[in-house]
């Protein structure tokens, strides 16, 4: 019965090319959209690997990990691309990952060296605003709390930028985090499940500021020839999001997976990142014209283990401060 | 036929419970935490209020539509199906264009020097749920009105009944038959609300069970917690279905001659009430939709090439699940009309299940057998069928019951059974609700994102999934244009089926 059911259903599937080896990359949704890095990355790697790259998407960064945990050792994926360092401790604990064998990426503002996870891009979180409407943006969380600006943020329970903001406030203020959230509560217009809803509310003019990245204005400048958007530098420093990839220990294509990891550090891969994923490349290559104006003076980042251990308490703090 | 109904009912129950059990089994138990009770409270409260408001607003509109004839009436009735098939985020953006901080209403208020109103909070959640559900309620109640044989109204007229007496003898029994099911359907829908409640609810105050499930599945991988929450949701939904089952009483008007006699328009204040109801419905329906769709239309011309195969895939899935849903709902409704009332529960529960737990459960069940990516489209088809079944069933049930009472014995005495009975009696008599059900199902499964996201690889994306990918890559304007395409094709399918059903009746 099992076999006949499987045989029946596999008839419905598109038959895969049997001869060329297939590298399955599990990643987040926006990576494989027509404007994401996916298509160019696939083409570039296929031209050197004599293999077939197949992307499988599983929602956003957080749901990638859940997907892996669900599939366990029987996952089809060879490589996972799109976790961030707030999730790597949990990812490591699954025991599903194998060492990538590559030297650490060299263009990050803080060193990140992990045997299992290799950064492929990164950016700082920041509040993005329209500089024609707000010539003097707040310069810190405290100034934001004191202003009457309305911001839209993402829910840390369902989105990785939301979790990033939670840890940003915690890293900057420690025990005062709850107080900061209480101060911010009348500035938070609303909380969205994911990044795209929040950013949509901002571009529709519903909110004054949105939690996004310092590299978001670059999209508007380069992609839309619109120089009205900017990010507000905060004196506390800016929390980093470092996006990483890793090899699954159970991959049936370990050599290909290793080759792909090396490829993520190559100029061919890295040069695609800035203008498709709108993040900083992880290696030292030239940035596109107009990509960057200024950088934050100070970077904040919890270690993988700290991020994991801080999260639950910070979440409860966030929830109770905003529910009052 | 009766055996088939029982089999389908059981299958629906299994399909709702098996994934839940699979998730719980994988996790080794069920879990709930203290924060869940406040999520439960908020979820129940908003679902209850949303359902009450939707139904209360729908009654005068349905009544007005049943007895008033004006230019565009038929189009308006078709458009009532539209909000229901908007992707959630499109509906939210539409409402914000009217009621948001920089929306039409607040711009006007501040131009007049009046204080502005905030949509964020419980009021926003209710406005959105009413916007999404009151048109459906109107259609369900309108069907009830149209199912009262015109001869009964003629008789009432010749007996010089006052409007109050007509209400007592004709309309109230009809409402008692139709309202509980309508209410339970909308209540169960709102139980599983997630994005609307969070975005318009203004933050963690508006945490629903579905958000907690999302968190448990996606972020914490706490499957025991997810299963516990999903079970809670199903229990509440089941309870609502049970209450509706107990409250509903068949009106028993008997058969009419199927003549279409226009009902007389009322006089005095009732005339004004009718006009106000119709005007309100039109504005409330069209305003948000036009506000969000019109600006995006220009983008239709340069949609990326990914969109077209995705559209074809979505259409195929939609048509497949329409066929499956109509067949199963018809069998269930006819079975329930012949006395198998427990089918009510089997046909309502899918509404209260969490799409995420359903998808995850199926994934857990199937993944050891077959690679998930090869199942993306079949599973989507199955789940869409399951999720559309409650609506189709609810729409068919009152008329299936009337059919059984009015013509059942005649058909039995003529020895009319099986396919012949279906072709000669059931299908023609049920054409109107069947057409509407088919339209809703097609549109619903066009727009569904639910399980496909868990199963699909890059080459199998449906249109909603492509839209999600685009909006995650800064291409909000392209995503908006693709949403217009989605809404237009959903609506075209809906219009086609609904029109066919309504014309078949004539």
Q: Quick check: A122 contacting B, CB < 8 Å?
A: no
| Among the partner residues A54, A201, A319, nearest to B457 by beta-carbon distance | A54
Mutation for A interface: B210, B376, B473, B479, most A CBs within 10 A: B473
Quick check: B218 and A203 CB within 8 A?
Answer: no
R_g of chain A, CA atoms, integer Å? 21
| Interval A309-323: pLDDT, tens | 999 899 989 988 887
Quick check: B457 and A188 CB within 8 A?
Answer: no
What single-letter DSSP state applies at residue B271?
H
Q: Would you kindly state where each structural domain of chain A is located, as residue ranges?
A: 2-122+241-281, 124-239+294-323
Mutation for A interface: B204, B296, B376, B456, most A CBs within 10 A: B204
| Among the partner residues B217, B363, B374, nearest to A9 by beta-carbon distance | B374
Quick check: A60 and B472 CB within 8 A?
Answer: yes
Quick check: B204 and A55 CB within 8 A?
Answer: no
Q: How far is A256 from chain B (nearest CA, A)?
A: 19
| Interval A194-227: pLDDT, tens | 898 899 899 988 999 999 999 999 999 998 899 9
- State residue A17's pLDDT score: 46
Q: Would you kindly state where each structural domain of chain B is located, as residue ranges?
A: 2-24+32-505
Helix, strand, coil shares, percent, chain A, to 5:
40, 20, 40
Buried b (16+ CB within 10 A) or exposed e, A203-228: bbebbbbbbbbbbbbbbbbbeeeeee
What is the band of A10 on the pLDDT scale with cuts at 50, 70, 90? very low
Q: At what angle do helices B355-366 and B376-413 cross, to 10 degrees?
A: 110
Mutation for B interface: A96, A123, A196, A316, most B CBs within 10 A: A196
- State residue A2's pLDDT score: 40
Quick check: B373 and A13 CB within 8 A?
Answer: yes
**CA proximity to B233, closest of B154, B131, B95, B348:** B348
- Please indicate whether the domains covering A2-122+241-281 and A124-239+294-323 agree at the CATH topology level: yes
Fold of B2-24+32-505: MetI-like fold (1.10.3720)
Q: Quick check: B294 contacting A, CB < 8 Å?
A: no
Q: Which two tokens stand for residue B298?
A: 């220009």
**CA proximity to A210, closest of A222, A201, A223, A219:** A201
Q: Which two tokens stand for residue B140?
A: 């369900």
Residue A15 has pLDDT above 50, yes or no: no
User: What CA–CA distance (Å, rounded) separates B323 from B325?
Assistant: 6
Q: Which two tokens stand for residue B150?
A: 């015109």
Q: Quick check: B218 contacting A, CB < 8 Å?
A: yes
Mutation for A interface: B219, B371, B378, most A CBs within 10 A: B219
- Residue B360's alpha-carbon distances to A80, B18, B26, B233, B321, in angstroms, are 19, 11, 11, 16, 20
Fold of A2-122+241-281: D-Maltodextrin-Binding Protein; domain 2 (3.40.190)
Q: What is the enclosing helix (H) or strand (E) of B187?
A: helix B172-191
Which residues from B are below 8 Å from A32, CB to CB? 458, 469
Q: What is the enclosing helix (H) or strand (E) of A65?
A: helix A61-71
Secondary structure of residue A25 in the 3-state scheme: strand
Cβ–Cβ < 8 Å for B407, B425: yes
Cβ–Cβ < 8 Å for A158, B215: yes
| Among the partner residues A67, A193, A204, nearest to B93 by beta-carbon distance | A204
Q: Which two tokens stand for residue A203?
A: 């571009």
Fold of A124-239+294-323: D-Maltodextrin-Binding Protein; domain 2 (3.40.190)
Which residues from A are below 8 Å from B218, CB to CB? 59, 62-63, 66, 158
pTM over 0.80: yes
Secondary structure of residue B225 in the 3-state scheme: helix
Q: Residues 334-363, chain B: which have Cβ within 8 Å of A?
A: 360, 363
End-to-end Cα separation, chain B, in angstroms:
28
Question: What are the φ/ψ torsions at residue A265 (nearest 5 degrees)?
Answer: -95, 0
Q: Residues 252-311, chain A: which have Cβ within 8 Å of B?
A: 276, 278
Average pLDDT, chain A: 89
Mean pLDDT of A98-118: 92
User: What CA–CA distance (Å, rounded) separates B39 from B328?
Assistant: 34
Query: What ipTM is given for this predicted complex?
Result: 0.80
- State residue B306's pLDDT score: 79
What is the band of A5 on the pLDDT scale with cuts at 50, 70, 90? very low
Quick check: B306 and A34 CB within 8 A?
Answer: yes
Q: Quick check: B34 contacting A, CB < 8 Å?
A: no
Q: Quick check: A17 contacting B, CB < 8 Å?
A: no
Q: Which two tokens stand for residue A14?
A: 């598109």
A-B CB pairs within 8 A amount to 183
Cα B305 versus chain centre, distance: 31
**B113: how many CB neighbours lie within 10 A of its CB?**
6
pLDDT tens for chain B, 506 residues: list them.
677 878 888 888 888 888 888 888 877 777 777 778 888 889 999 999 999 999 999 999 988 888 778 888 888 888 887 787 787 778 888 888 888 888 888 888 888 888 888 888 888 999 999 998 888 899 888 888 887 777 777 787 888 888 788 777 778 878 888 888 888 888 888 888 877 888 888 888 888 888 888 888 877 788 888 888 888 888 888 888 778 777 766 666 666 666 666 777 777 777 888 888 888 888 888 888 888 888 888 878 778 887 888 888 888 888 988 998 888 888 888 888 777 777 777 887 787 777 777 878 888 888 777 776 677 777 778 888 888 888 888 888 877 877 777 777 777 778 777 777 777 777 777 788 888 888 888 888 887 665 666 666 666 777 888 887 888 777 878 888 888 888 888 888 888 888 888 777 54
- State residue A151's pLDDT score: 95
Quick check: B203 and A28 CB within 8 A?
Answer: no
Instruction: List beta partners, residue A246.
Output: A80
Quick check: B369 and A206 CB within 8 A?
Answer: no
Mutation for A interface: B469, B478, B483, most A CBs within 10 A: B469
Exposure on the CB side of residue A189, measured as CA atoms within 13 A: 27
Q: Residues 151-190, chain A: which have Cβ within 8 Å of B?
A: 155, 157-158, 163, 185, 188-190
């Amino acid at each position: 019965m099992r076999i006949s059911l499987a045989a029946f259903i596999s008839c419905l599937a598109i038959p895969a090319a049997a001869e060329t080896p297939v590298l399955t990359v599990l990643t987040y949704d926006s990576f494989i959209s027509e404007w994401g890095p996916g298509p160019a990355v696939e083409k570039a790697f296929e031209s050197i690997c004599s293999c077939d790259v197949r992307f499988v998407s599983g929602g956003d960064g957080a749901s990638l990990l859940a997907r892996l945990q669900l599939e366990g050792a029987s996952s089809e994926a060879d490589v996972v691309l799109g976790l961030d360092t707030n999730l790597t401790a949990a990812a490591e604990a699954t025991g599903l990952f194998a060492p990538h064998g590559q030297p650490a990426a060299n263009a990050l503002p803080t060193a990140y060296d992990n045997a299992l996870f290799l950064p492929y891009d990164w950016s700082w979180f920041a509040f993005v605003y329209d500089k024609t409407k707000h010539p003097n943006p707040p310069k810190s969380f405290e100034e934001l709390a004191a202003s009457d600006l309305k911001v839209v943020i993402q829910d840390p329970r369902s989105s990785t930028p939301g979790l990033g903001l939670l840890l940003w406030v915690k890293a900057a203020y420690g025990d005062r985090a709850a107080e900061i959230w209480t101060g911010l509560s009348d500035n938070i217009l609303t909380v969205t499940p994911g990044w795209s809803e929040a950013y949509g509310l901002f571009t529709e003019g519903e909110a004054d500021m949105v939690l996004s990245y310092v590299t978001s204005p670059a999209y508007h400048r380069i992609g839309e020839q619109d120089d009205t958007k900017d990010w507000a530098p905060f004196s506390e420093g800016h929390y980093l999001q470092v996006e990483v990839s890793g090899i699954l220990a159970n991959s049936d294509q370990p050599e290909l997976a290793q080759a792909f990891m090396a490829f993520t550090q190559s100029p061919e891969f890295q040069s695609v990142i800035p203008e498709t994923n709108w993040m900083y490349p992880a290696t030292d290559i030239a940035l596109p014209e107009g990509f960057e104006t200024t950088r934050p003076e100070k970077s904040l980042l919890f270690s993988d283990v700290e991020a994991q251990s801080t999260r639950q308490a910070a979440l409860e703090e966030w929830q109770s401060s905003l529910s009052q | 036929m009766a055996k088939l109904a029982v089999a389908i009912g059981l299958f629906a129950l299994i399909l709702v419970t098996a994934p839940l059990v699979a998730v719980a089994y994988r996790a080794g138990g069920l879990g709930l935490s203290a924060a869940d009770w406040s999520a439960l409270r908020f979820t129940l409260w908003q679902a209850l209020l949303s359902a009450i408001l939707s139904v209360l607003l729908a009654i005068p509109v349905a009544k007005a539509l049943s007895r008033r004839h004006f230019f565009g009436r038929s189009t308006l009735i078709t458009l009532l199906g539209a909000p229901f098939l908007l992707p959630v985020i499109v509906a939210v953006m539409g409402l914000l264009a009217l009621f948001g901080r920089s929306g039409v209403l607040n711009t006007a208020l501040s131009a007049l020097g009046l204080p502005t109103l905030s949509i964020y909070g419980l009021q926003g959640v209710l406005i959105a749920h009413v916007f999404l559900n009151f048109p459906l309620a109107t259609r369900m109640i309108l069907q009830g009105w149209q199912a009262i044989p015109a001869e009964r109204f003629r008789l009432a007229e010749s007996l010089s009944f006052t409007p109050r007496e007509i209400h007592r003898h004709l309309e109230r029994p009809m409402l008692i038959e139709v309202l509980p099911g309508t209410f339970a359907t909308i209540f169960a829908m709102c139980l599983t609300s997630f994005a609307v409640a969070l975005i318009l609810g203004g933050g963690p105050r508006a945490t629903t069970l579905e958000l907690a499930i999302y968190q448990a599945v996606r972020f914490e991988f706490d499957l025991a917690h997810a299963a516990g929450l999903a079970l809670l949701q199903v229990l509440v939904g089941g309870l609502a279905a049970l209450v509706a089952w107990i409250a509903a009483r068949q009106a028993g008007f008997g058969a009419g001659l199927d003549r279409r006699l226009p009902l007389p328009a009322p006089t005095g204040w009732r005339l004004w009430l009718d006009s106000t109801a119709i005007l309100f419905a039109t504005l409330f329906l069209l305003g948000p939709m036009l506000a969000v769709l019109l600006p995006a239309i220009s983008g239709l011309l340069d949609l990326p090439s990914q969109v077209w195969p995705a559209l074809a895939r979505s259409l195929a899935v939609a048509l497949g699940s329409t066929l499956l849903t109509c067949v199963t709902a018809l069998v269930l409704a006819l079975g329930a009309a012949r006395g198998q009332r427990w089918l009510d529960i089997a046909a309502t529960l899918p509404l209260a299940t969490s799409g995420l737990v359903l998808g995850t459960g199926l994934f857990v069940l199937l993944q050891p057998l077959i690679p998930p990516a090869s199942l993306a489209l079949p599973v989507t088809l199955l789940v869409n069928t399951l999720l559309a079944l409650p609506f189709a069933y609810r729409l068919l049930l009152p008329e299936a019951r009337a059919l059984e009472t009015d013509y059942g014995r005649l058909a039995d005495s003529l020895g009319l059974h099986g396919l012949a009975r279906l072709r000669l009696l059931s299908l023609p008599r049920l054409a109107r609700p069947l057409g509407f059900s088919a339209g809703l199902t097609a549109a619903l499964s066009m727009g569904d994102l639910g399980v496909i996201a868990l199963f699909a690889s890059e080459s199998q994306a449906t249109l909603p999934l492509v839209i999600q990918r685009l909006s995650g890559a800064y291409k909000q304007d392209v995503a908006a244009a693709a949403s217009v395409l989605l809404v237009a094709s959903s609506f075209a399918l809906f219009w086609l089926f609904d029109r066919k059903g309504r014309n078949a009746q004539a």
